[in-house]
Amino acid sequence: MTFAWPWVLLGLLLVPALDLAERRLRARRALRRRALGELGLGSSAVPSRRLTGGLLLGALALLVVAAARPQATVGDLHREGTVILAIDSSTSMRATDLAPSRLEAARAAASSFVQAQPPTIRVGVVSFADSGVVLQAPTTTQADVLAALGRLKAQGGTSLGQGIYASLQAISGGKVKITDEQLRSGVDDLDIGHFGSARIVLVSDGEDTSRIDPLALARLAGTAGVRIDTVGLGSPDGTTVQVDGFTTSTTLDETVLREVAETTGGHYLGAPDAATLADVYGQVDLELTTTQVRTDVGALVAAAALLLLVAGAGISVARTGRVV
């Protein structure tokens, strides 16, 4: 235990001084009573006030301690870290097998997830199609994250690798630099640092149309301590989507999403409909952290002093009929 105002504890020196003064006063009263008793002018019995006096002195000592603002260090268990919401914004996300569309369902579920987070969680937003873009760097300002989610727009193809790369850039504050040639040839030998408290929630239908290997980026993320949880939208049975007047088919590729998640120690979560998608975000496992926090316990000490005062007064009333 520590004290914000330790100099106040010098007041504890008054306690033994007051105790000594009270003992001397009690001794003089005892002599006077005995003298009066011998003269037949009163009782020579001396009522004992040691218990009540001790309680009052103890209360005084506690009040001095409370005034010094004692502080105890306790462990505060909470969720803490960085979460990147990497959301597929390719043309296939216009499919309506999740009402009103895959993209709108993903946006709504992500917004609910953001609003449910404590202020210790920093959330960022990445949009990926043919390339990945950081729409919002990690922040605890939920309004900024929600605004970024509102800017998602479905167009282009799908590159899961670009989505993971942009997410790593967001986590590192732009410090992760990988050239296009490295993205195409492989990144297994790169060292980008360690970000053990970061998570990526990658939401996609899994139809990767790029030549960048998403598993290579997933291995890079795993080496950096970043876990990727993947969310598969739609059904493996597939559906159709209208693009510029043409009808094309789109099918959920669960295999690649499972492999990305498993490579980093994450989980794959399937969302065949909007209701399931809303529940899926609740299954995202964020890291629990214990932080040592100093807490002022002066009020508790003062409450203990009050209890001693009440106890002393009660005993005094029971013995003498009044508070003395």
Predicted confidence band of residue 320 (pLDDT cuts 50, 70, 90): low
CA gap 168, 148 in Å, rounded: 18
At 46 the pLDDT is: 47
- Residues 90 and 107 occupy one common structural domain: yes
pTM: 0.66
Predicted confidence band of residue 191 (pLDDT cuts 50, 70, 90): confident
- Residues 53 and 165 occupy one common structural domain: no
Tell me the per-residue pLDDT of 224-250, one tens digit each, with 9 for 90 and over.
Answer: 999 999 999 887 777 777 766 677 777
- Residues 193 and 68 occupy one common structural domain: no
Q: The tokens of 296 are what? A: 């002022």
Question: How high does pLDDT run on average in the chain?
Answer: 81
- Residues 107 and 168 occupy one common structural domain: yes
Cα–chain-centroid distance for residue 293? 13
Residue located via tokens 């002195």: 57
- Residues 194 and 315 occupy one common structural domain: no
Cis peptide before 6 (omega within 30 of 0): no
CA gap 64, 11 in Å, rounded: 6
Residue 245 Cα distances to 41, 98, 113, 219, 251, angstroms:
118, 20, 34, 39, 19
- Residues 187 and 242 occupy one common structural domain: yes
- Residues 141 and 223 occupy one common structural domain: yes
At 111 the pLDDT is: 94
- Residues 277 and 305 occupy one common structural domain: no
Q: How many CB atoms lie within 10 A of CB 68?
A: 21
Largest CA distance in the chain: 122
Residue that wins the pLDDT comparison between 160 and 26: 160
- Residues 198 and 311 occupy one common structural domain: no
Per-residue pLDDT at 43 exceeds 70: no
Tell me the per-residue pLDDT of 247-276, one tens digit each, with 9 for 90 and over.
Answer: 777 778 899 999 999 999 999 998 887 778
- Residues 55 and 183 occupy one common structural domain: no
What 3-state class would DSSP assign to 139?
strand
CA gap 60, 259 in Å, rounded: 67
What is the domain-level CATH number for residue 146? 3.40.50.410
Letter string b/e over residues 16-32, b meaning 16 or more CB atoms within 10 A of that residue's CB = eeeeeebeeeeeeeeee
- DSSP string covering 233-268: ES-TT-EEEEETTEEEEE---HHHHHHHHHHTT--E
Tell me the per-residue pLDDT of 270-318, one tens digit each, with 9 for 90 and over.
Answer: 888 777 887 777 777 665 454 556 788 888 888 887 888 788 777 766 6
Give me the amino acid identity at 151: R
At 276 the pLDDT is: 80
Q: The tokens of 158 are what? A: 């799908």
- Residues 227 and 256 occupy one common structural domain: yes
109 with 277: CB under 8 angstroms? yes
Mean pLDDT highest for which of 69-73, 89-93, 144-148, 195-199?
144-148
The count of domains in the chain is: 2
Question: Could you list the residue range(s) of the whole structural domain that residue 128 is in?
Answer: 81-286
